[in-house]
Structures are given as structure tokens and as C-alpha cells.
Amino acid sequence: MSAYRTGPTPVPVVESERSVSSCTSRNSSSVVCPSNISKDVKEHNFDYFLVLDFEATCEKERTPEPQEIIEFPVIKVCAKTFDTKAVFHEYVKPEVHPTLSSFCTELTGIIQDMVDEKPHLNEVLKKFNNWMEEEGLFQSKVKFAFVTCGDWDLKLMLPKQCSYFGISLPTYMNTWINIKKSFAQTTGIWPKGLIQMLDYIELDHVGRLHSGIDDCRNIARILSKLAQRGHVFEINGRLDFRRNNKMFKS
Ligand SMILES: [Mg+2]
């Protein structure tokens, strides 16, 4: 899910001149570049991209208060080959409004049974932390960056829900790459959303729009395509604690 809006004026493309000289990962395991990766793919500042796209409770007329995450998917993508290395995918039971609206089910494809017996956000964040550990993402030399479509997931949704329930927000989720900004840097066009980006780079949409895991898959495909065009990804989204604290108290 994303809160789509018009964005800033496209900024000039600033690309690193560094080219990929080796397909050996910075961490202990080496990876082999598949032959279909363009020679224009530059070396990135990260070992892995963690593509994330939450879905949350919603209603047709208004946003529920509090809005609660119901799907928590993350795809671990190798920053050398753009292959999927692992997937974390959990549905989450909402606490305050446990019954999903028909609008929400129609939009996301998530039915009541899919969240009823599932853990609350606090437990899912613990499971996610364990997954991060198992995947070696906390090893000292491993660099990763979350990738989202817009700033909604990590700037608003997760911090706001964590604040509401008094859950500690993992510090590693304080920064991210907003792929819409990366897309604008590469193409000079500010995209409304996922479909416009896919259309522009001539990729078919796969799966169901507003299914969190399918949205992640499509974001990962855009990520790979922008890299093939020579884009070097950098962190372009971060939490502004002062602003967020003020916003969540009101
Ligand atoms: Mg989505």
C-alpha cells in the first residue's frame, strides 16, 4: 500500500562512475553474475536490498485510527545479481480493529482468515529481527538498505503504529530507499506509483496490485531495471524524529 501523491521536481541524475569490476560480494559468500545482467550495472553501496511493502487496515471513507499493518513482506535481493535470496512474509492480526472491512479485502486480497490466528505486530517484529539475524544481515561487514515505493511504509505507518502500541521501533528501519525518488533521478519523471513505473520501463505487472508480497516483487523488478540503466542507489529517506514525535502526539 502506498499513499500516492505528486512529488518534488525531478532532480538531475547523479551517477557514480564506478563500474562493476568483480562479481564477488563484500561478505564471505561470493556470488556469480548471471549473463543477462547488463555491463552498465554499477557497483552499489550495499550488499543486499530489502524490498518492503506493508498492507494495512483501511476503509473506503476514512483511514481507521489507529491504522494497523496486516501484511509484512520483505524480499532480500542481492545487490550484485538482483536475484531474490530470501523472503520474509507474515500476515499480522490487527488489535484495535480486528475485523477487516470488505473494502480492505477487495483492495488487498487479504481475507479475515488470513489474519485471524496470526501474531500481532510486536511478535512479527521479533520474528523479523530473528530472520534478519539468520540471514546474516547483522554481520559487521554486511550493508543493506530497505527499499519502498514511497515514504509511507517506514516514515508513517510503522513508526505511527509502534508509537501507538509502545513498541520499540528497530533502528535499522530508520532509513530507506524510496524507489520513486530513484526512478525520478534516473528518468526525470516523478511517478505516481508502481504501475506508472512499470509502464515506463516496459515491464508487465505481475501478481495482484496491493498484495504486499506481489508489490514487493514488482518493486524488486523495477530496482533491477533501474540498476541496469546505471542508477546507483543511495539512501534517500529517513525518519525525522522531531517531526514524527510532534505528528504522532496530535
Ligand atoms: Mg502495497
Q: What is the pLDDT of residues 23-66, one digit of tens each?
A: 333 333 333 334 344 555 667 789 999 999 999 999 999 999 99
Task: List the domain boundaries for the chain.
Answer: 48-249
CA of 42 to the centre of ligand 1 (A): 28
**Which residue in the list 68, 135, 210, 231 is annotated as catalytic?**
210
6 against 56, higher pLDDT: 56
* d(CA 246, ligand 1 centre) in Å: 26
> How remote is the CA of residue 21 from the centroid of ligand 1, in Å?
35
More confident residue, 5 or 55: 55
Q: Separation of 209 CA from ligand 1 center, angstroms? A: 7
CA 181 to ligand 1 center in whole angstroms: 17
Catalytic, out of 55, 71, 90, 135: 55
What's the average model confidence in pLDDT over 209-233?
Answer: 97
What per-residue string of b and e applies to 37-59 under the rule 16 or more CB within 10 Å gives b? beeebbebebbbbbbbbbbbbbe
State the Cα–Cα distance between residues 188 and 168, nearest whole angstrom: 37
- What values do phi and psi take at 49, rounded to 5? -105, 135
Q: How far apart are CA 100 and CA 65, in angstroms?
A: 13
Is the pLDDT at 195 greater than 50? The verdict is yes
Selected residue with higher pLDDT from 245 and 186: 186
Mean pLDDT of 145-162: 98
Q: What is the distance in A from the centroid of ligand 1 to the CA of 54?
A: 6
Catalytic (active site) residue 97: no
Residue of higher predicted confidence among 60 and 20? 60
Query: How deeply is 170 buried, as exposed, middle or buried, from its count of CB atoms within 10 A (0-12, 13-18, 19+)?
Result: middle
Helix (H, G, I), strand (E, B) or coil at 74: strand
Is 210 marked active-site? yes
State mean pLDDT over 141-147: 97
Instruction: Share the mean pLDDT of the chain.
Output: 86
CATH number for the segment(s) 48-249? 3.30.420.10
**pLDDT tens digits for range 81-138:** 999 999 999 999 999 999 999 999 999 999 999 999 999 999 999 999 999 999 999 9
Strand 144-148 with 175-178, pairing: parallel
The residue-averaged pLDDT of 196-206 equals 97
Can you tell me whether residue 87 is helix, strand or coil? strand
